[in-house]
């Protein structure tokens, strides 16, 4: 019972944080709200006995990635973002109709569902039996889920290559940023042409 | 500790090695990229050959996350072929666009690995990782011309909407996990029916349909398609229009016949509605396009509509003929659409500045470069479904299976929309052969080099599948019968 109450509290806080993240016009405020969301999600992991995942969540997401985010955003000058208009004003009316339907459907699912893992529950005894939390994560990661784990490394390679392609400065000396050597790239007039 | 069963993923291992070698060799090359192109082509060829050689195997590997069977192998060969033709098209075009980087080839190879994993996965986690690998490469490739505004727009649109769609898929998967406590397809399919919660299963089904529907550009999740095809490099658009779609359908076929078997009545109706909507949106919007790249994008949406009709038939009693004809159609669609995009690539390479894919710029093509015009006509005939071409065989089997699924009205609608599609394909031919150009464009060279090989391969595929359908039908039959192996 206590777990359920804690789950509801942390869940509500996490959703609140997520809403804050996407509604703040100031990007830094949004980021702080995102940290808040991540920490609450980590708390939900704790409630479900996934200690290792909770610590990893705080270290990796709330820690490393968010710090990186903050740095990048502080380097950028994002003042004009605040003055941007919404493209399709009618969209919000559509959302106002569709979102409650989706919510109602979701509530119907949650109320009527029989969740097998939650019914059985993961107890500390079960964890002790498989040799502890970290051990369990390790076994499932490197034995049962070995292939997806390896494919994930290829995703990182692809993302890295992509980041290099998108961000590499392709200039010859004495040429301004975001320009290209006369013979190597499209001319400024070509920018808006069909590709 | 025992060794993992590497043989079962040998085609992917070869592709991964080739991709990494391309990345390794690329920095040492100056202007001439022949070495990396050859590496990429050899890698794809080797992976296809190995996949063919592994035929006849049927076993699960890696703790049941992946299988090696003729279904997976059929798609592995198909993806390798699609990537092979796309890469053959690319060098001249990328040079003409002044952005010829070796990373391009590595990204295509990595995307093929993702697709292979999607087709072979029998576990939601493996499937999702494959999907993300494919998607990640697609986002980067769409924005490959990063100095072009349209390319930037395409990449950003694709990325934002794609991530959103992935979230939907994940939500659906997590619901299924919550119901059954596992991510393995087979165990889920035996457990999901007995949870006795039809609403929940239907909700999860709908979420997975939405997520995968985005990848195969099914209406109403198709909005990104024309913009991304228009903005992405033409060769990349060619690859997008076949690869991720075939991969999406390979995953849809396996997921909906195993995991969501218990809700087959629900998703059959769902696909029926979506099929009509998709065919309608694709046909109507294709008629009003004056940019031929956008027209092909909408035409590809229409083709997805036909495939969805096949899925609707599959859901009614899980008729295997429908599954086989979907596989056959995917193969036919791959060669004909790649060919059509190949000709667009050729024309753009000819006129990097002047050619804007508008209907007008095709005027007089029949006189200017007759080979390009004749081949494009062949591909357009095939897309329309004229007998003797792959498109006809695909449609014939597909609509027959829809009729067998007791959905005569849907088959009639499909044929009707094919008739409408003839209008926008034939209009292009009329411009090519019977209209005089307003400004005379010059032809620099006939189709030659690797581009010629790509177009010739596609044309040969279209004619071969169209004239000798028995061969591919046998393979589709074998593939689908081995779906669960």
Say how many domains are in chain A: 2
Per-residue pLDDT tens, chain B, 485 aa: give them: 577 788 889 999 999 999 999 999 988 887 788 999 999 999 999 999 999 999 888 888 888 889 998 999 999 999 999 999 999 999 989 888 888 888 999 999 999 999 999 999 999 999 999 999 999 999 999 999 888 888 889 999 999 999 999 999 999 999 888 888 888 888 888 887 776 677 888 888 899 999 999 999 998 899 999 999 999 999 999 999 999 999 999 999 999 988 888 888 889 999 999 999 999 999 999 999 989 999 999 999 999 999 999 999 998 876 788 889 999 999 999 999 999 999 999 988 888 877 888 888 888 888 888 888 999 999 999 999 999 899 999 999 999 999 988 899 999 999 999 999 999 999 999 998 988 887 777 776 778 888 999 999 999 999 999 999 888 888 888 888 877 65
Task: Provide the CATH number for the domain around residue A80.
Answer: 1.20.120.1200
Helix (H, G, I), strand (E, B) or coil at B180: helix
Residue contact B63–A148, C-beta within 8 A: no
Q: Residue B179 in contact with residue B252, Cβ under 8 Å?
A: no
Domain membership of residue A48 (yes or no) is yes
Residue contact A148–B125, C-beta within 8 A: yes
Domain membership of residue A158 (yes or no) is yes
**Residues A82 and A135 both lie in one domain:** no
Could you give the count of Cα atoms lying within 13 Å of B221 in the half-sphere of its Cβ?
Answer: 25
Domain membership of residue A39 (yes or no) is yes
What letter would DSSP give residue B363?
A: T
pTM, rounded to two decimals: 0.89
Query: What is the pLDDT, as a whole number, of residue A182?
Result: 47
**Residues A25 and A72 both lie in one domain:** yes
Residue contact B129–A144, C-beta within 8 A: no
Q: Residue B102 in contact with residue B25, Cβ under 8 Å?
A: yes
Query: What is the pLDDT, as a whole number, of residue B170?
Result: 93
> Nearest-CA distance from B233 to chain A in Å?
6
Chain B residues lying within 8 Å of A185, measured CB to CB: 98-99, 147
Q: How many residues does chain A have?
A: 195
Q: Could you identify the residue written with the tokens 């999406």?
A: B248
Instruction: Kindly tell me the burial class for residue B205, based on how many C-beta atoms sit within 10 Å of its own C-beta (0-12, 13-18, 19 or more).
Output: buried
Does the CB of A116 have a partner CB in chain B at under 8 Å? yes
Confidence of residue A79 (pLDDT cuts 50, 70, 90): low
| Mean predicted lDDT score pLDDT of chain A | 75
Query: What is the pLDDT, as a whole number, of residue A180?
Result: 45
Chain B residues lying within 8 Å of A192, measured CB to CB: 148-150
Q: Which of A109, A148, A161 sits opposite B65 (nearest CB)?
A: A148
Query: What is the pLDDT, as a whole number, of residue A83?
Result: 57
Rounded Cα distance, B70 and B471, in Å: 15
Q: Could you identify the residue written with the tokens 């405020």?
A: A29
Query: What is the pLDDT, as a whole number, of residue A193?
Result: 74
Rounded Cα distance, B179 and B161, in Å: 28
Helix (H, G, I), strand (E, B) or coil at A85: coil
Rounded Cα distance, B224 and B232, in Å: 12
Query: What is the pLDDT, as a whole number, of residue B264?
Result: 85
Q: State percent of chain A over pLDDT 90.
A: 8
Q: Which of A114, A120, A154 sits opposite B195 (nearest CB)?
A: A114
Task: Say which residues have a Cβ less than 8 Å from residue A5's Cβ, sequence separation at least 6.
Answer: none
- Torsion, CA B131, CA B134, CA B137, CA B138, rounded to 10: -90
Query: What is the pLDDT, as a whole number, of residue A77?
Result: 65
Rounded Cα distance, B120 and B309, in Å: 24
Does the CB of B355 have a partner CB in chain A at under 8 Å? yes
Rounded Cα distance, B38 and B21, in Å: 11
**Residues A83 and A143 both lie in one domain:** no
Q: Which of B99, B107, B181 sits opposite A117 (nearest CB)?
A: B181
**Residues A72 and A131 both lie in one domain:** no
How far does Cα B141 stand from its chain's mean position?
15
Domain membership of residue A94 (yes or no) is no
Chain B residues lying within 8 Å of A148, measured CB to CB: 65, 123, 125-126, 128-129
Does the CB of B235 have a partner CB in chain A at under 8 Å? no
Rounded to whole angstroms, the maximal C-alpha distance in chain B is 72
Confidence of residue A42 (pLDDT cuts 50, 70, 90): confident
> Nearest-CA distance from A117 to chain B in Å?
6
Buried b (16+ CB within 10 A) or exposed e, B38-51: ebbbebbebbbebb
Instruction: Kindly tell me the burial class for residue B390, based on how many C-beta atoms sit within 10 Å of its own C-beta (0-12, 13-18, 19 or more).
Output: buried
Helix (H, G, I), strand (E, B) or coil at B386: coil
- Torsion, CA A172, CA A174, CA A178, CA A183, rounded to 10: -40
Of the residues A63, A89, A115, the one at which a domain ends:
A89
Does the CB of A141 have a partner CB in chain B at under 8 Å? no
Q: Residue B168 in contact with residue B207, Cβ under 8 Å?
A: yes
Residue contact B234–A195, C-beta within 8 A: yes
Q: Does A96 have pLDDT greater than 70?
A: yes
pLDDT digits 0-9 by tens, B313-336: 998 876 788 889 999 999 999 999
DSSP string of B90-156?
HHHHHHHTT---THHHHHHHHHHHHHHHHHHB-BHHHHHHHHHHHHHHHHHHHT-STTSHHHHHHHH
Q: Which of A117, A155, A192 sits opposite B129 (nearest CB)?
A: A155
Domain membership of residue A47 (yes or no) is yes
Chain A residues lying within 8 Å of B20, measured CB to CB: 157
Of the residues A89, A119, A137, the one at which a domain ends:
A89
What is the token pair recorded at B211? 């997520």
Query: What is the pLDDT, as a whole number, of residue A165?
Result: 86
Task: Say which residues have a Cβ less than 8 Å from residue B79's Cβ, sequence separation at least 6.
Answer: B112, B115, B116, B119, B243, B246, B247
Q: Residue A37 in contact with residue A23, Cβ under 8 Å?
A: no
Query: What is the pLDDT, as a whole number, of residue B150?
Result: 87
Rounded Cα distance, B267 and B451, in Å: 41
Does the CB of B63 have a partner CB in chain A at under 8 Å? yes
Chain B residues lying within 8 Å of A44, measured CB to CB: none
**Residues A8 and A71 both lie in one domain:** yes
What letter would DSSP give residue B440?
A: P
**Residues A80 and A142 both lie in one domain:** no
Q: Regarding predicted confidence, which is higher, A174 or B269?
A: B269
Q: Does A64 have pLDDT greater than 80?
A: yes
Domain membership of residue A99 (yes or no) is no
Domain membership of residue A25 (yes or no) is yes
Chain A residues lying within 8 Å of B357, measured CB to CB: 194
> Nearest-CA distance from B63 to chain A in Å?
5
Query: What is the pLDDT, as a whole number, of residue B82?
Result: 95
Query: What is the pLDDT, as a whole number, of residue A145?
Result: 87
How many beta-carbon pairs below 8 A join chains A and B? 148
Neighbour tally for B4: CB within 10 Å: 15
Query: What is the pLDDT, as a whole number, of residue A184?
Result: 54
Rounded Cα distance, A62 and A46, in Å: 15
Rounded Cα distance, B112 and B15, in Å: 8
**Residues A73 and A152 both lie in one domain:** no
Q: Identify the residue among A156, A164, A179, A194 best suited for mutation to test binding to B, counting B beta carbons within 10 A and taking the highest.
A: A194
Domain membership of residue A131 (yes or no) is yes
What letter would DSSP give residue B184?
A: B
Task: Please name the residues between 127 and 146 in chain B that touch chain A, using a CB distance below 8 Å.
Answer: 128-130, 132-133, 136-137, 139-140, 143-146
Helix (H, G, I), strand (E, B) or coil at B61: strand
pLDDT digits 0-9 by tens, B187-200: 888 887 776 677 88
Q: Residue B191 in contact with residue B176, Cβ under 8 Å?
A: no
Angle (deg, nearest 10), helices B370-384 and B320-350: 160
Q: Residue B140 in contact with residue B155, Cβ under 8 Å?
A: yes
Q: Does A110 have pLDDT greater than 80?
A: no
Chain A residues lying within 8 Å of B233, measured CB to CB: 195
Task: List the domain range (segments joined by +) for residue A134.
Answer: 127-167
> Chain A residue with minimal CA distance to B132?
A155
**Residues A76 and A147 both lie in one domain:** no
Query: What is the pLDDT, as a whole number, of residue B399?
Result: 93
Rounded Cα distance, A136 and A128, in Å: 10
**Residues A83 and A136 both lie in one domain:** no
What is the token pair recorded at B394? 């695909």
Rounded average pLDDT over A123-152: 81
Query: What is the pLDDT, as a whole number, of residue B393?
Result: 92
Chain A residues lying within 8 Å of B19, measured CB to CB: 157
Q: Which of A105, A151, A192 sits opposite B133 (nearest CB)?
A: A151
**Residues A10 and A81 both lie in one domain:** yes
Does the CB of A187 have a partner CB in chain B at under 8 Å? no
What letter would DSSP give residue B59?
A: E
**Residues A85 and A1 both lie in one domain:** yes
**Residues A5 and A74 both lie in one domain:** yes
Chain A residues lying within 8 Å of B126, measured CB to CB: 145, 147-148, 151
């Amino acid at each position: 019972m206590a777990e359920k109450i804690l789950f509801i509290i942390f869940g509500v806080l996490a959703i609140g944080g997520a809403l804050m993240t996407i509604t703040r016009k100031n990007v830094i405020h949004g980021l702080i709200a995102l940290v808040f969301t991540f920490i609450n999600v980590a708390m939900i992991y704790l409630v479900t006995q996934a200690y290792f995942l909770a610590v990893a969540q705080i270290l990796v997401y709330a820690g490393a990635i968010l710090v990186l985010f903050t740095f990048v955003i502080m380097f950028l000058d994002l003042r004009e973002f605040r003055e941007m208009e919404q493209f399709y004003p009618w969209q919000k009316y559509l959302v106002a109709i569709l979102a409650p339907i989706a919510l109602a459907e979701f509530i119907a699912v949650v109320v009527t569902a029989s969740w097998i893992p939650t019914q059985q529950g993961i107890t500390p005894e079960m964890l002790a039996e498989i040799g502890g939390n970290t051990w369990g994560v390790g076994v499932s990661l490197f034995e049962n889920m070995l292939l997806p784990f390896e494919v994930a490394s290829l995703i990182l390679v692809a993302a890295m290559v992509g980041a290099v392609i998108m961000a590499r400065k392709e200039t010859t000396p004495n040429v301004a940023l975001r320009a290209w050597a006369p013979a190597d790239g499209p001319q400024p007039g070509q920018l808006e042409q069909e590709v | 500790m025992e060794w993992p069963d590497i043989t079962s993923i040998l085609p992917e291992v070869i592709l991964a090695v080739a991709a990494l070698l391309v990345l390794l060799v690329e920095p040492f090359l100056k202007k001439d990229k022949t070495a990396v192109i050859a590496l990429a082509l050899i890698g794809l060829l080797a992976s296809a050959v190995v996949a063919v050689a592994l035929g006849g195997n049927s076993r699960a590997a890696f703790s049941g996350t992946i299988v090696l069977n003729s279904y997976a192998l059929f798609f592995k060969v198909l993806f390798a072929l699609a990537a092979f033709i796309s890469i053959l098209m690319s060098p001249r075009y990328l040079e003409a666009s002044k952005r010829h980087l070796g990373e391009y080839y590595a990204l295509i190879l990595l995307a093929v690995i993702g697709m292979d994993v999607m087709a072979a996965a029998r576990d939601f986690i493996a499937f999702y990782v494959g999907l993300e690998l494919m998607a990640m490469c697609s986002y980067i490739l769409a924005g490959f011309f990063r100095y072009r505004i349209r390319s930037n727009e395409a990449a950003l649109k694709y990325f934002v909407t794609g991530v959103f769609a992935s979230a939907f898929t994940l939500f659906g998967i997590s619901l299924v996990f919550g119901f059954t406590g596992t991510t393995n397809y087979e165990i889920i399919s035996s457990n999901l029916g007995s949870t006795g919660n039809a609403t929940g299963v239907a909700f999860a089904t709908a979420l997975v349909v939405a997520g995968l529907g985005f990848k195969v550009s099914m209406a109403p999740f198709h909005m990104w398609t024309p913009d991304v095809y228009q903005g992405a490099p033409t060769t990349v658009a060619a690859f997008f229009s076949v690869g991720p779609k075939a991969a999406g359908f390979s995953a849809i076929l396996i997921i909906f016949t195993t995991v969501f078997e218990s809700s087959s009545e629900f998703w059959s109706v769902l696909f029926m509605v979506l099929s009509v909507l998709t065919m309608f949106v694709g046909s109507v919007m294709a008629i009003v396009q004056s940019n031929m790249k956008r027209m092909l994008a909408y035409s590809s949406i229409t083709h997805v509509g036909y495939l969805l009709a096949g899925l609707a038939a599959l859901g009614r009693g899980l008729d295997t003929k429908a599954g086989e004809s979907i596989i056959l159609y995917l193969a036919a669609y791959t060669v004909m659409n790649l060919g059509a995009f190949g000709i667009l690539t050729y024309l753009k390479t000819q006129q990097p500045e002047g050619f804007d894919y508008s209907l007008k710029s095709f005027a007089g093509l029949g006189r200017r470069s007759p080979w390009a015009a004749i081949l494009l006509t062949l591909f357009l005939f095939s897309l329309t479904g004229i007998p003797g071409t792959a498109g006809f065989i695909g449609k014939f089997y597909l609509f027959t299976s829809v009729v067998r699924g007791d959905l005569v009205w849907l088959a009639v609608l499909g044929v009707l929309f094919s008739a409408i599609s003839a209008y926008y394909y034939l209009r292009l031919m009329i411009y090519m052969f019977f209209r005089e150009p307003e400004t005379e464009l010059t032809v620099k060279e006939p189709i030659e080099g690797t581009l010629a090989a790509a177009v010739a391969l596609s044309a040969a595929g279209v004619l071969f599948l169209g004239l000798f359908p028995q061969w591919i039908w046998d393979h589709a039959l074998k593939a689908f019968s081995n779906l669960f192996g």
